[in-house]
Amino acid sequence: MSASLAKPSAGTARQPLLDTCHLVETPEGIDLVLHPAGLVPRALAFAVDLAVRGAILLLSFLVLGQFGELGLGLASLLFFLVTWWYMVLFEVLNQGRSPGKQLLGLQVVHDDGTPVGWAASLTRNLLRVVDLLPFGYTLGILSCLAHPLFKRLGDLAAGTLVVYGERPQPHPSLPEIDAQPVPFALQADERRALLAFAERRARLSVGRRQELAGILAGPLQVPEEQAEARLLGIARELMGPP
């Protein structure tokens, strides 16, 4: 939006934005927006993968144990593979998604948004033993909570991020609200930004909507608590009658 439209009212001290997006500029000059995953979804994904690995190992020991020492040897080899290569194989061969991450809609990528490779995946997973110290993933949890992109120590060493993957979105629609006149001339990109805000409002938290709308409270000459309704009315005017 233009500087006149985005400029906050004089003397207004705004709080830091709630946004946790990570913006990456590709070599082609395209801005790539990544959404880092926090501790809770990552922990849930890990729990799912832990259950899957446990089920695989239990089943394998029950089956291979019937074949004596040869079976136990094969089971031990499988234990090694599942323990150290389960995450790596899925992350590299399945676009950064283990079964748990896929269930939670997460994926591992490099810091620049490119698909994770063998070296990075091996590094981040081998360093789980450090994140586990001194017990119960303590170092990993503290690192994840302290880092602005929710990185554990393995991610810091490997240069990787755990982000939300792109999911198909339903066709957006504007909310039912009376149209309000546009208070001043808008550029094309400003019109698109207003329409995008109205279309995506259902996917934003109340705090985030109020924060974004409050940025324009000054130019619109309305109190911040009324800015969202004003923007939606303008968006309806731009869009035309339903």
Find the mean pLDDT for residues 59-82: 87
Q: pTM for this structure? A: 0.64
147 CB contacts (<8 Å, ≥6 apart)?
Answer: 156
Query: Of the candidates 115, 93, 90, 116, which has an alpha carbon nearest to the alpha carbon of residue 101?
Result: 90
pLDDT higher for 201 or 31?
A: 201
Q: How confident is residue 5, by pLDDT bands cut at 50, 70 and 90?
A: very low
- Over the stretch 103-153, which tens digit does the pLDDT of each residue have? 999 999 999 888 999 999 999 999 999 999 988 889 999 999 999 899 999
**β-strand partners of 110:** 160
Q: What gap in Å lies between CA 192 and CA 119, rounded to an integer? A: 41
Say whether pLDDT at 181 is over 50: yes
